[in-house]
Amino acid sequence: NLIPYLAFSRGSFKTSEITNHTLTNIKIVEQFLGKIFEVKDNVVRRI
């Protein structure tokens, strides 16, 4: 999963589907680091 690595860098990635697993990883990382991701149109972006 790319979410933990993306948390410490800048960038984004596009996928065919945002899965519940991806959303869970985002929520866990954001519990530690605050709101740092944006999810829109199957793109996860580090903000």
Condensed to tens digits (0 to 9), the pLDDT of residues 2-17 reads 899 999 999 999 999 9
- Report CA torsion sign: 44, 13, 17, 28: negative
Q: Is 36 exposed, middle or buried (0-12, 13-18, 19+ CB in 10 A)?
A: middle
Q: Is 35 a catalytic residue?
A: no
Task: Tell me how many domains the chain contains.
Answer: 1
Q: pTM of this prediction?
A: 0.90
Range of the domain at 14: 2-46
Distance CA 17, CA 42 (A): 6
Catalytic residue among 13, 15, 19, 21: 21
- Tokens at residue 42, please? 């199957």
Structure tokens at 24: 């869970």
Predicted confidence (pLDDT) per residue in 24-46, tens digit: 999 999 999 999 999 999 999 99
Question: CB within 8 A of 34, min separation 6: which ones?
Answer: none
